[in-house]
A and B are shown apart, each in its own frame.
Chain A
């Protein structure tokens, strides 16, 4: 009797959980479907390759796409080397002393800081103190800092997943720790690191707050000439045309189109990540 009752209890519980997760999936699809339904119509070649026109009620979003790609590239160049190297240090060299635990706690805290704070900090440091001005370089550093905790965490996790027997085997052959990292640990962790990196960059490419005061231009049809120029960026452009255009009703479809392009870029990066992971796994 009791057993039967347990079984029924379980069934009810699992049915409940399953419906909840279906609700989650449904919401996701709803959002996605809504954006696609409203945005797919405006996306064509012209939309992707021309600058906004007619007070942003017409034209395309090419400068914003280009700007976002520049920022993805720039922030990667900041966050990847810095994040990977410090993760290698904290997980391969540093042991478990006070300093290292302090660094861990701080990087974890860093990931909890709202992105607008990073934006303010970036403005204070890169735009003003270092006098980069509103520029790709200031925006890349700010976005890069925002990504840093994620990059460190993914790299650490990828390194931690490598069993110690490989390190020990290498050290026992007279390899130094650095050689062991370069020839054994890093190559083994690489597939997971690279996916983690791309996913984290995908995450920040949609952020608005950090670029607001550091790089994003309201309207700038020209492409940047150097890293000290401003650019438009998709998330900020979306914000602008959704809230402060000259004719909000007329820009609505453009807003959905912009959102869709942003989603597609993020999706493409996720696809690239899983493709790369599979590819490197095979080696």
Chain B
């Protein structure tokens, strides 16, 4: 379970997230929608502490994963990031082979057992619905894959270290419709094993893939509810305006 309590986040003096409290259950897909610059990515990055990399930022409130505050001093960030995987907007495979991309997380984890690695790579590629397309060319440079394949490779790479949560920041916005629907199917199947949080600008996508949807505006969480409820009968006028395209 992911939980935030009264989160405030600042870039320097800029108040980017304002008093956000929400919970996300295990094995669900939660979508964040909202106009550009409203803080969706910033909020998403809280859960694997990628915001730590940005200088001069400041956080108050609590961010809990399975009841543990991940911002406590005792938490090891690399361990956290192995539990909370992330997929980015633009596919960013490493300049290595397909195999080595997926094995990367295992190798930095100090795993040497070749059979184990080979097996895990295969499982992960299967999990990311890419295995059939690449099984005969695992040594090929990842850059030679199509954009959609690269994105699924990045998902496989995240799966390989067996996270429990996967964060996706507009994972399909740089892809064509067919690749997009592949990613969406994939999200459906991943839900069985993982807790998924996805940021998207595509309303239909949010409606299709998620159980719950949160609508953000100007750093605030305006409304958070079952996806059906948000899209069929939102409580707030701002939400209504946004999803009907009258705003943002």
Verify B78–A169 contact, CB threshold 8 A.
no
Size class of the contact patch on chain A: 10 to 19
A173: nearest chain-B partner, CB-CB: B105
Verify A173–B88 contact, CB threshold 8 A.
no
Q: Is B98 an interface residue when CB atoms closer than 8 A count as contact?
A: no
Verify A174–B50 contact, CB threshold 8 A.
no
In the complex, which residues of chain A have a beta carbon less than 8 angstroms from the beta carbon of B78?
174-176
Q: Is A26 an interface residue when CB atoms closer than 8 A count as contact?
A: no
* A171–B157 CA distance with the chains assembled, in angstroms: 13
Verify A168–B94 contact, CB threshold 8 A.
no
* A165–B107 CA distance with the chains assembled, in angstroms: 20
Min distance, Cβ B91 to any Cβ of chain A, angstroms: 9
Verify B94–A171 contact, CB threshold 8 A.
no
Which of B80, B82, B88 is close to A169, meaning CB atoms less than 8 Å apart?
B88
Verify B94–A169 contact, CB threshold 8 A.
yes
Size class of the contact patch on chain B: 20 to 34
* A183–B109 CA distance with the chains assembled, in angstroms: 13
Verify A168–B105 contact, CB threshold 8 A.
no
Verify A175–B108 contact, CB threshold 8 A.
yes
Min distance, Cβ A95 to any Cβ of chain B, angstroms: 6
* A131–B243 CA distance with the chains assembled, in angstroms: 79
Min distance, Cβ B105 to any Cβ of chain A, angstroms: 4
Verify B94–A172 contact, CB threshold 8 A.
no
Verify B53–A173 contact, CB threshold 8 A.
no
B157: nearest chain-A partner, CB-CB: A173
Min distance, Cβ B54 to any Cβ of chain A, angstroms: 11
Centre residue among A173, A175, A184 by max chain B CB count within 10 A? A173
* A172–B50 CA distance with the chains assembled, in angstroms: 7
Q: Is B85 an interface residue when CB atoms closer than 8 A count as contact?
A: yes
Which of A96, A183, A187 is close to B104, meaning CB atoms less than 8 Å apart?
A183
Verify B108–A183 contact, CB threshold 8 A.
yes
Verify A165–B94 contact, CB threshold 8 A.
no
* A176–B88 CA distance with the chains assembled, in angstroms: 19
Verify A172–B81 contact, CB threshold 8 A.
yes
Centre residue among B86, B90, B92, B109 by max chain A CB count within 10 A? B92
Q: Is A188 an interface residue when CB atoms closer than 8 A count as contact?
A: yes
Verify B90–A165 contact, CB threshold 8 A.
yes
A173-B105, A173-B161, A174-B105 given as contacts; is B55 within 8 A of A168 (CB)?
no
A168-B50, A169-B154 given as contacts; is B88 within 8 A of A174 (CB)?
no
Per-residue contact bits, chain B 85-113, to A (CB 8 Å; 1 contact, 0 not): 11010101111000000001101110000
In the complex, which residues of chain A have a beta carbon less than 8 angstroms from the beta carbon of B90?
165
Which of A95, A166, A174, A179 is close to B94, meaning CB atoms less than 8 Å apart?
A166
Min distance, Cβ B80 to any Cβ of chain A, angstroms: 8
* A187–B80 CA distance with the chains assembled, in angstroms: 26
Verify B92–A174 contact, CB threshold 8 A.
no
B55: nearest chain-A partner, CB-CB: A95
User: Restricting to A40-88, which residues have a CB under 8 Å from any CB of B?
Assistant: none
Q: Is B48 an interface residue when CB atoms closer than 8 A count as contact?
A: yes
Min distance, Cβ B198 to any Cβ of chain A, angstroms: 15
User: Restricting to A148-185, which residues have a CB under 8 Å from any CB of B?
Assistant: 165-166, 168-176, 179, 183-184
Q: Is B233 an interface residue when CB atoms closer than 8 A count as contact?
A: no
In the complex, which residues of chain B have a beta carbon less than 8 angstroms from the beta carbon of A169?
88, 92-94, 154
* A174–B160 CA distance with the chains assembled, in angstroms: 12
Q: Is B72 an interface residue when CB atoms closer than 8 A count as contact?
A: no
* A179–B81 CA distance with the chains assembled, in angstroms: 14
Q: Is B79 an interface residue when CB atoms closer than 8 A count as contact?
A: yes
Q: Is B117 an interface residue when CB atoms closer than 8 A count as contact?
A: no
* A250–B94 CA distance with the chains assembled, in angstroms: 61
A169-B92, A171-B53, A173-B104 provided; 8 other pairs, C-beta below 8 A?
Answer: A165-B88, A166-B95, A168-B88, A172-B81, A172-B85, A174-B105, A175-B78, A188-B95
